[in-house]
Structure 1
Amino acid sequence: MIVWSQTIPPAPAASDEAAQTVPFPASDGAKGGEEGKGERASPSLPPSPVSTSPAAKSVSPSATSARERDDVYNPAPHQNPVVAALQEEGLYLPGLGAGKHSLICPWAQEHGSDDPGPAIYTEPTTMRPIGKFFCPYPHTERVQIDRLLERLGIEAAHARCKPSIRLVSGEMLRVLDAAERSLLRLDTFYQSGGVIVTVNATAKGDAAVSLVNDNVLTKALARVADWEKFDGRSKEWKPSDPPTQIVRQLLNAQTYDHLPVLDGVARQPYFRKADDTLVAEPGYDAQSKVYAVFDREAFVVSDVSEAAARDALGALKDLISEFHFASECDRSAALCAMLTAAVRSSLPLAPAFNISASTPGSGKSYLGALITPFAGPGEPLNMSYPTTAKEASKSMLAALLGKPAVISFDDMQTDWLPFGMINRMLTSETVTDRVLGVSRTVTAATNVFVMGTGNNVSPVRDMSRRVVTIQLRPPTGSPATLSYAGRPVDAVRANRGRFVSLALTIVQAWQAAGRPRTDVPDIASFGAWSDKVRQPLLWLGEPDPATSLIQQVRSDPDAESLARFMEAWRLAFGSKPMTLRKVVDRAERDNGALLDAMMELPFVERGAINRNKLGWYLKRNANRIVDGLHFQREDNSERTAWSVQTIGDSYSGVSVGNASSARTEAPIDPREPVMINGEIY
């Protein structure tokens, strides 16, 4: 349970008027639909709580309002007609549940004095479409469900407790609307990023999100509704299967009127982004559009005082006491990673975390295994870091569509390369791309905790401002022999709720204290993360956990490499415009400073200079001033030429010297992704 502090109010409950809009879930005594599922709550409202008492005496068991019914769609009855009829006749007995109901056998007079006890009615299932009736008295062999329905005056079609959809010619849009409405009866179907997905709980208490295909959707539509088509010969409506055309149209619709929107999945209590309220109830929250799966009793935040926050911080620091960090800032960054993982579903954006060391066996993977349970109970999605931009686009989109708690690049064999998709997934709340093997685009949320481990691995170029590095430095030449007597990973996995609650305590205590802010450099794109994770640690006296990120940005190895390239170019050619062919030929012929400078840059592939990528690199860095030099594009009768100019020379796009001679081409922002020979950097 969560014990609320006065400064952090609980989520507001839906009004009584709103809660009664859609009768889902129905009470145990009057459940409608297959396996006891009634009409699902509207996407604009949270689900109503489940009642454990039988329904009151009902009106006509199969009644639906005239406004709800039409010639295409006839909704399922609001109450199970069999249960309602048993209640009307005084035959219903309380108890049981889970789709089963006790009743007085309507043929009890045949039992005589040796009454074996109550009979049982089981609600419809896939294999028993009209339900099942069982009486312990021997007459069960001749008294089956059809006799019970006849005795209660209920037609078999009504006993199925399903809506019906008629394939009326010329009414495809209304049929599609009816099909979508019928899916609301399955509380696992949602819309997300223009596609239909399902959310299901796993055995480990996690949530699995899956993209729905035509086979899954066909079975679901057949399960939740009775489909009918008109038979011209008999002039009657006959049973049918969901048409392939309707299935495909619904899959490819991209916009949906009834399915709830799924923006994220939470594995523990989380903060609504809109009002920063802590949501402590599992299930779908319509306001935040987040589906949460967790045991509310496992997460306890009973005190949000500063003292409680310091105790919580001490407990988290005990977990990492046996790790050998390069500095106290690295230790603080590890604590920051724990807090980030715990609240990642509440943040619009967050940096990735890079756990690096100089030698194998330093505890990188073990520290990663300690951090990831703060994000969720399941295993992280372990992936290899992409080697090309195309691979990054495909693999990352597929990963994000599954809404995992953690994406882990374990044992990285390359630096954090700035592929466009990975850049965007760390600094944009959503990414949009084409689905592999499908001719459509989808949008995926990026609220996932991203982490990587590797020896001497670091973020390069544009990734420098997107990744926090945690450096381990064991004081031994053979770190593989290190052991962790406290077994911190086992401790967190065994009592995940307690340690996540400690992280939440630190955040809530900082909020309750008035959100005090330490004067530190701002980090572009990660303002909310800085507020909810970085500032609470600074408030408690920890070093800035973003120190490594700030140092990476300030060092800017991109600028240093560019400066060396321009200096070598200027030394070789002065300010004379040169074509790329001549530059490359000169560099390869002389094999001197110019070639050395060029070999450090991203247009080199397998030891050779790619001239197309060199052109894109120059275009991207045109007019960017480093150490008083900048590249300038020049007119040339043969082809495009480039020169290196100093600040005092004519500078494109800036009023330097003779403004009238300056070109109007705007400089390209070096932080933005750029396409180079089909790959995004």
Structure 2
Amino acid sequence: MTIKTNIKTSGSWNAGDPDRPQWGFGTRQVAKYEYTDEKNRHLFFICKGTNADGEKVFRTQHINPLGYSERFESNELADILSGMGEAQPVPYRLHELVSSNAHEPVFIVEGEKDVETLRSLDLTATCNPFGALKWKDSFSQWLKDRDVVILPDNDERGEAHAKQVLQSVLPVAKSVRVIRLPGLPLKGDVTDWQEAGNSKAGLLALVAQQVPERPTPIIKIVPGELDRMADEAEDAFINAAVPIYVTGAGLVKVAKEQTQATNGAVVDAARTIPLSEDSLIDFLSRCSEWQKYDLKQKAWKRAHPDRNAAKILLSRDGEWRSPKLRGILTAPTLRPDGSVLLNPGYDQATGLYLASNLDLSSHPQNPSRSDAEAALTLLEGLLNGFPFASPASRSVALSALISPVVRGAIPQMPLHAVRAPTAGTGKSYLIDLASAIVSGHRAPVISAGSGEETDKRLGSALLGNPALLSIDNVNGQLGSDVLCQMVERPLIEIRPLGKSTLIKIESHCSVFATGNNIQLVEDMNRRTVLCSLDANMERPETRSFADSPFDLILKDRAKYVSAALTVVQAYISVGKPNSRRNLASFEDWSALVRSALIWLGKDDPCETMEDNRQNDPSVERLSNLVDAWQKRIGLNRPMTAAELKAEASSSEANTLDDPFYEALRAIAATKTHAIDPQRLGTFLSQNEGKVSNGLKIIKQGKSTKKWSLTKIN
């Protein structure tokens, strides 16, 4: 259709609102969209432009329907007139919508530009005229029995518009899905998403993964039917995909938030909040309609959700049907099958909630060894200023950067500890780099206390489902029952502060520790890989990094997340050659992260475990005891703890340079430096059967405990 440029007036639809930008003199038109009816007959135009102040403005026009003689009579001579004339609003590209394949989805977007973007991908798309929040129920008739996909713009107005369209379309469409495109900038739309390199195939894959929306359910309040109302209430928020999940702490809601990093960048985050009665009622108000019978009007009338039904639902511990939440992530991760979890929100396959819109569009789909080598070089560049005591310590540092990112594929990972002889060497800063990659922030820390105090602090920290946690500045020994559970077991029991009951929590937290000459004792030895730093100077805090690795990460966090994923994905793609699973409790970490580093030519990070053992005072005490025992008493000679004390305290042997006497004193001395047989017996029971220097202590006798030393062949 040829359109002449004889235009009568501006036709700005903001003309009646002086506070809105106006289409006036000096406005430059940038786009013009024609609306037609279902038979492709002209109705009106939507014109978009930029006025003299640089503001976006809009106007409507229509083709003059009058013949030339009628125009002279009515004094409407222009070919194009302002406004819509007698036309009524219809969806954009209506004629294409009604003639499209009924088995293909229809995409609803916020503006005509986005419709044209989707048309260029050979997809059926439409929108309403006049922008967001202007969808009319009359538009929905054209979507009867169609599969509808709503693509909201990434802002509050876009979300509100999507909700308006959803409520209108749900009763008539065959199915409705709302797709929030990953990686969109604030106020971004599908055109931005497509221009960022995303494809039609990627969009259709998101559609296939998304669960269709459901109509708002009606729950009738009837006395004596609390169980039925509670069941229907739970069905309502499960079907509406309300962010309510089951954890060991009970029902929780996920609160998404945006925080500011130290460089001013906005970082996505989320946290869990125990679901209160009021919160549950609020959710039920939003995802269901409650009705109560009005005897006067003899009709069902809308009502508030029943509070008693909410109480019953909250009390059903162990019976909830909501999805189980394993953890909250702030960066894309690997699933156990090797695929990448990219889409924000709850992931059914893993039970993880991804609170991140990081753009990984440039991440390699099938990374090769050369991709992995380049990725590892990038990560190693962050470590150039650290004074590693050994190549194995550098491997532990690389594992610290990689493991939290691929945590979705690793049920358990060992504690990563960083030690140095003096303060200021960079221990905490190294953990901050790992945290910056996985979360965009410095590492959250707790301080170590006594064994029981550390357990309480760890338990309290775990209630918030942190992705990463560091026990900072440990002075001396580190050992804790809860800490052992955290790094070795997916499900742990903790007692929250102020409560007497234990609760079970599924921990997905990557745990770190730092300290000057930190000593890992007893069971923590085999659960820890140790990174040793040594600057060989009196005041290492006076050193500085050539570049600030922390700032480098924050400038392009997605690049470093992609690098961590690439190292492990590439190793998986080549078949995991020489995979090492021989690390009890941490088989998956060993088979993926540890083995990938060795595959790329790095030292084995598990070599540092022997350093842990050598520095464990309990190992040293046992070693000294069995050596002195063999020399003083010999093998296979049963003795009670009291008899061992008597032997060590005999007048011939009771000297400060006697190894056996000193070994018993190190184990069981009281405040008065006397050897306590009860303490000695406890130590022997705890170390029964442990092999040290080819020797082990065994128990003999039933009524009276006797101990002897035996040699291992």
Q: Does 1:621 align with 2:621?
A: no
Q: Closer, same or farther in 2 for the Cα pair 1:27/1:458, shift >3 Å?
A: farther
Residue in structure 2 matched with residue 432 of structure 1 by the alignment: 493
Q: Closer, same or farther in 2 for the Cα pair 1:563/1:367, shift >3 Å?
A: closer
Distance in 2 between residues matched to 1:382 and 1:422, nearest whole Å: 14
Listed as ranges, the matches of 1:68-83 within 5 Å are: 83=136
Distance in 2 between residues matched to 1:234 and 1:28, nearest whole Å: 42
Q: Does 1:372 align with 2:435?
A: yes
Q: Does 1:422 align with 2:483?
A: yes
Distance in 2 between residues matched to 1:474 and 1:595, nearest whole Å: 39
Return 5+ residue gaps in structure 2 as ranges: 1-105, 111-123, 144-150, 165-214, 259-266
- 1:196 maps to which of 231, 235, 251: 251
Distance in 1 between residues matched to 2:626 and 2:405, nearest whole Å: 45
- 1:383 maps to which of 446, 455, 460: 446
- Highest relative contact order (Cα 8 Å, sep 6+), 1 or 2? 1
TM superposition shift of 1:570? 7.6
Listed as ranges, the matches of 1:249-398 within 5 Å are: 249-256=312-319, 258-273=321-336, 275-298=337-360, 300-302=362-364, 304-389=367-452, 391-398=453-460
Q: Alpha carbon RMSD of aligned pairs, Å?
A: 4.3
TM superposition shift of 1:598? 4.4
- 1:400 maps to which of 436, 453, 462: 462
Higher mean Cα deviation, 368-377 or 226-235? 226-235
- 1:488 maps to which of 544, 549, 559: 549
- 2:473 maps to which of 411, 418, 428: 411
Secondary structure, in 3 states, of the residue corresponding to 2:417?
strand
Distance in 1 between residues matched to 2:448 and 2:163, nearest whole Å: 58
Residue in structure 2 matched with residue 173 of structure 1 by the alignment: 227
- 1:528 maps to which of 570, 588, 607: 588
CA displacement 1:46-70 (0-9 Å, x = unmatched): xxxxx98569xxxxxxxxxxxxxxx
Secondary structure, in 3 states, of the residue corresponding to 1:201?
strand
CA displacement 1:629-658 (0-9 Å, x = unmatched): 51425455xxxx44331338xxxxx9x9xx
The one-letter code of the counterpart of 1:489 is: F
User: Quick check: 1:598–1:604 contact (8 Å CA) kept in 2?
Assistant: no
Q: Mark the structure with the bigger radius of gyration.
A: 2
Secondary structure, in 3 states, of the residue corresponding to 1:524?
coil
TM superposition shift of 1:219? 3.6
User: Quick check: 2:432–2:441 contact (8 Å CA) kept in 1?
Assistant: no
Q: Does 1:450 align with 2:521?
A: no
Distance in 2 between residues matched to 1:591 and 1:216, nearest whole Å: 70
Listed as ranges, the matches of 1:585-664 within 5 Å are: 592=656, 596-598=662-664, 600-601=666-667, 615-626=681-692, 627-635=694-702, 641-647=704-710
The one-letter code of the counterpart of 2:605 is: P
Higher mean Cα deviation, 611-620 or 286-295? 611-620
CA displacement 1:139-187 (0-9 Å, x = unmatched): xxxxxxxxxxxxxxxxxxxxxx954433433322212212212333363
Q: Closer, same or farther in 2 for the Cα pair 1:431/1:528, shift >3 Å?
A: same
Q: Closer, same or farther in 2 for the Cα pair 1:87/1:542, shift >3 Å?
A: closer
User: Quick check: 2:443–2:469 contact (8 Å CA) kept in 1?
Assistant: yes
User: Quick check: 1:584–1:609 contact (8 Å CA) kept in 2?
Assistant: no
Secondary structure, in 3 states, of the residue corresponding to 1:410?
strand
Listed as ranges, the matches of 1:209-248 within 5 Å are: 209-227=272-290, 242=305, 245-248=308-311
User: Quick check: 2:226–2:312 contact (8 Å CA) kept in 1?
Assistant: no
The one-letter code of the counterpart of 2:349 is: Q
Listed as ranges, the matches of 1:41-52 within 5 Å are: none
User: Quick check: 2:268–2:355 contact (8 Å CA) kept in 1?
Assistant: yes
Q: Closer, same or farther in 2 for the Cα pair 1:288/1:551, shift >3 Å?
A: same
Distance in 2 between residues matched to 1:396 and 1:102, nearest whole Å: 41
- 2:602 maps to which of 542, 551, 563: 542
User: Quick check: 1:194–1:254 contact (8 Å CA) kept in 2?
Assistant: no
Give the TM-score normalised by structure 2.
0.63
TM superposition shift of 1:577? 4.0
Secondary structure, in 3 states, of the residue corresponding to 2:406?
helix
The one-letter code of the counterpart of 2:598 is: L
Q: Closer, same or farther in 2 for the Cα pair 1:475/1:433, shift >3 Å?
A: closer
Secondary structure, in 3 states, of the residue corresponding to 2:477?
coil
TM superposition shift of 1:462? 0.7
Secondary structure, in 3 states, of the residue corresponding to 2:478?
coil
CA displacement 1:252-307 (0-9 Å, x = unmatched): 3223454222223232332222x222233222221222221222524632362222
TM superposition shift of 1:567? 5.6
User: Quick check: 2:700–2:708 contact (8 Å CA) kept in 1?
Assistant: no
Secondary structure, in 3 states, of the residue corresponding to 2:418?
strand
Secondary structure, in 3 states, of the residue corresponding to 2:504?
strand
Listed as ranges, the matches of 1:132-211 within 5 Å are: 163-184=217-238, 185=240, 187-193=242-248, 195-203=250-258, 204-211=267-274
Residue in structure 1 matched with residue 527 of structure 2 by the alignment: 466
Secondary structure, in 3 states, of the residue corresponding to 1:522?
coil
User: Quick check: 2:249–2:274 contact (8 Å CA) kept in 1?
Assistant: no
Secondary structure, in 3 states, of the residue corresponding to 2:432?
helix
Q: Does 1:552 align with 2:600?
A: no
User: Quick check: 1:299–1:498 contact (8 Å CA) kept in 2?
Assistant: no
Distance in 1 between residues matched to 2:531 and 2:416, nearest whole Å: 7
Higher mean Cα deviation, 308-317 or 552-561? 552-561
Residue in structure 1 matched with residue 147 of structure 2 by the alignment: none
- 2:137 maps to which of 73, 78, 84: 84
Q: Closer, same or farther in 2 for the Cα pair 1:628/1:364, shift >3 Å?
A: closer
TM superposition shift of 1:511? 2.0
CA displacement 1:77-112 (0-9 Å, x = unmatched): xxx9x953675599xxx9985335999xxxxxxxxx
Secondary structure, in 3 states, of the residue corresponding to 2:605?
coil
Return 5+ residue gaps in structure 1 as ranges: 1-24, 30-50, 56-79, 104-160, 649-653, 657-681
TM superposition shift of 1:469? 0.7
User: Quick check: 1:190–1:262 contact (8 Å CA) kept in 2?
Assistant: yes
User: Quick check: 2:462–2:507 contact (8 Å CA) kept in 1?
Assistant: yes
Secondary structure, in 3 states, of the residue corresponding to 1:205?
strand
TM superposition shift of 1:539? 1.2
Task: Give me the identity figure in percent.
Answer: 27
